[in-house]
Structure 1
């Protein structure tokens, strides 16, 4: 009998042609090389994890027979009710009145993006995104075969409707209003207020990714898109904005706990998709997260903001001190990222190759963050992991290389 090896590539669905490996995930492997000074991974610093609170949570839950039985068992797809109640109360406090029925817990906000893409996108639908935008969102949506519409370089404006109306068919809008990955920039209040009537005009569903919202270390907090939508529509059940939150940047990525907040009609459908995907988020992790946020969460956030604020000031000062003429950068008021624009004609991928070889510095080239027409002469620096001395040294090395290349 002849046994033939299947041609797996020929068997994959057509949509797999749009699924690409994450350059960021690949670059994270460089963290295992001790001589690489990395600005690549936009991940929390492990020293800032509330390790003691998380450990105490696991121990207390497993020491109690009744809680242990619940924690180690299957659970409802919507998520652990006490944690959903806590999230709803906090969102209500922040100008987004809702209840537990408006919230479903997900395996990080990344799963929320995937489920929302599955729920709303039909092949050929348009996804409107910022230019540049979060690479993980593009990865989540790509499998559902949409078309993309980059916002113009000058961002949101009153004249935008006529520009995009003909292309925004079956539109879904994805935005990170606060300290966006990769730029570190935020939408102004005027831009937020412009986006909602634009969404009305295009009958567009908005996804608000609030992954970095709690990490503001400078400036005044602005209202969320959801809060503005609730105020103008009359309540959470009338909005077109779906809010994605996460504890990955504030508690721990490994807990894999995010959430979607929106009208119950949307949440009910998401629950069905969640059941087909993985049934529910780890029950014990949900219970531990609830214990960790129920007391002292704002004090913990204060520590995070102080730490990342110090690192942001360090990298901005280092960029000003070392970078040659022709290089510009964003000035974030929160989050983990600085976006660097290189002189025209310079390619971030080429710079990365030489930076690794000649200066042992890693970062993420800018090109993968563009949905339509890519911009090559840009790069993303994350200041969350290196300490202040490493930030100063790494920027000096990178600037030295860029100076040689210009």
Structure 2
């Protein structure tokens, strides 16, 4: 038999299966209440609007272009629509500053490829988005803990990176309602991060996947918007904004985008040409049709539903969780992050929960680049109604209470 492992590239050893993707399979089990998938509720998809959009495309003169090869940068009308949307959140730019990608996950892969040589350092939060770690891992980086506005100095980061055999290349974070914690980076922390990146001469990768899903509280300008306000123009900035239509319109079409200075976009276009030539033209056109005709109304709809589910989950946690368990209180997004008593492991708890409580969640350890965080877990409220949330959190709380009592005994 051929020894495949001996001829795989060394980077393949850092590729790991996604615990979340595996847990999504549980969504089809009727006996499981799942808080595992950080996915939008399909009942809220604008399916009628997409049906009309595809019908218009196939019945109109643009059908040939929709089914043909296209430019790597992306469908121009969609990029022009995004220019207007970016302006609304304080990011003035041109269509040339935008690249359409096959979901924001492809953007993260490209950015890892663009910046990371083996042993370079990526600064990421502890915890951070698991998909970002998976994307970056292939390029064999080291990781260091990003603490926006914290006590670590640029010199300390650079010294640690040098000891690891490379240099710091970027700081990655989700600034609004992050996956997995649901927490938001303050304006002061965002400003401090720009200061640090300027001093270290590194990029900032701002993951804006949940930026539209604010339920309450005052909106904070994106990091890219703050940097443009300082420096006068997007082409003078070092922040790279990654966005997606997956959480607002539909994830199955795989349409994301990057907004950045022209030198970055030019390099990403070359990667796009080498990887898949361009994202699906017809899907970009359909996204554009639906976005132009009702993006704000769609966002208002999902905000209304998700905010009610967020409130139901926070209420259920307050009602049922035993002492010793704490959780975040997000102002938007899809997630709540729980911290269990020290010594209790989320992975072991999940194994018991699937058998006894019949509740699924994501153990938190997978979100930590250093393998810590064993006593944490992520629950998502996006696909569970209020009845499921009340019942599921009650069952989970009872299981946790029993584990706490067993340790005391």
Classify the TM-score, shorter chain: over 0.9
Map of 2:17 onto structure 1: 21
Aligned to 1:114: 109
Distance 1:272 1:151 in 2: 30
Q: Distance in 2 between matches of 1:86 and 1:167?
A: 42
The one of 154, 159, 172 aligned to 1:161? 154
Alignment of 1:209-288 (within 5 A): 209-288=207-286
1:89–1:99: 8 Å Cα contact kept in structure 2?
Answer: no
The answer to whether the 8 Å contact 2:119/2:140 transfers is yes
Are the equivalent residues in 2 in contact too, given 1:209–1:244 (CA < 8 A)? yes
C-alpha separation in 2, matches of 1:201 and 1:105:
30
Distance across 2 between alignment mates of 1:22 and 1:150 = 21
Deviation at 1:150, TM superposition (A): 1.2
Say whether the 8 Å CA contact 2:157–2:168 is kept in structure 1: no
Question: How far does the alpha carbon of each residue in 1:318-350 deviate from its partner, in whole angstroms, 9 at most, with x for none?
Answer: 000000000000000000000000001000000
Distance 1:364 1:260, change over 3 A: same
Normalised to the residue count of structure 2, the TM-score between the two structures is 0.96
Counterpart contact for 2:244–2:257, Cα < 8 Å: yes
1:104 is paired with a residue whose SS is strand
Query: Cα offset for 1:167?
Result: 2.1
Quote how far apart the aligned CAs of 1:308 are: 0.6
Query: Is residue 242–residue 256 contact of structure 2 (8 Å, CA) maintained in 1?
Result: yes
What CA distance in whole angstroms lies between the structure 2 residues aligned with 1:213 and 1:184?
11
RMSD: 1.0
Shift of 1:275: 0.8
Alignment of 1:40-79 (within 5 A): 40-64=36-60, 66-79=61-74
Any stretches of 5+ residues in structure 1 without a counterpart? none
User: Which runs of no fewer than 5 residues in structure 2 stay unpaired?
Assistant: 162-166, 405-409
Deviation at 1:164, TM superposition (A): 2.4
1:182 aligned partner: 180
Distance 1:372 1:395, change over 3 A: same
Q: Which of residues 77, 85, 94 in structure 2 aligns to 1:99?
A: 94
Distance 1:194 1:159 in 2: 11
Partner residue, 2:407: none
From 38, 54, 60, the equivalent of 2:34 is 38
Assess if the C-alpha contact under 8 Å between 1:148 and 1:371 holds in 2: yes
Match of 1:311 among 309, 320, 324: 309
> 4+ runs of 1 displaced by more than 3 Å?
158-163
Deviations 1:253-306 (A, max 9, x none): 011000001111111110110011111111100000000010221111111111
Report if the CA contact (8 A) 2:115-2:169 is conserved. Answer: no
Distance 2:179 2:98 in 1: 24
CA distance in 2, matches of 1:353, 1:299: 40
- Contact between 1:134 and 1:369, CA under 8 Å: does it hold in 2? yes
SS in structure 2 opposite 1:211?
A: coil
Query: Counterparts of 1:159 and 1:277 in 2: how far apart (Å)?
Result: 37
* 1:158–1:194 contact (8 Å) kept in structure 2: no
Matched, 1:130 2:125: yes
C-alpha distance in 1 between matches for 2:83 and 2:258: 11
Residue 148 of structure 1: SS of its match in structure 2? strand
Partner SS for 1:167: helix
Contact 2:123–2:168 under 8 Å retained in 1: no
Q: Is contact 1:127-1:147 (8 Å) kept?
A: yes
Q: Verify: 1:87 aligned to 2:79, yes or no.
A: no
Deviation at 1:162, TM superposition (A): 4.7
Q: Of the candidates 342, 345, 350, which is equivalent to residue 343 of structure 2?
A: 345
Q: Distance in 2 between matches of 1:176 and 1:220?
A: 17
SS in 1 for 2:216: coil
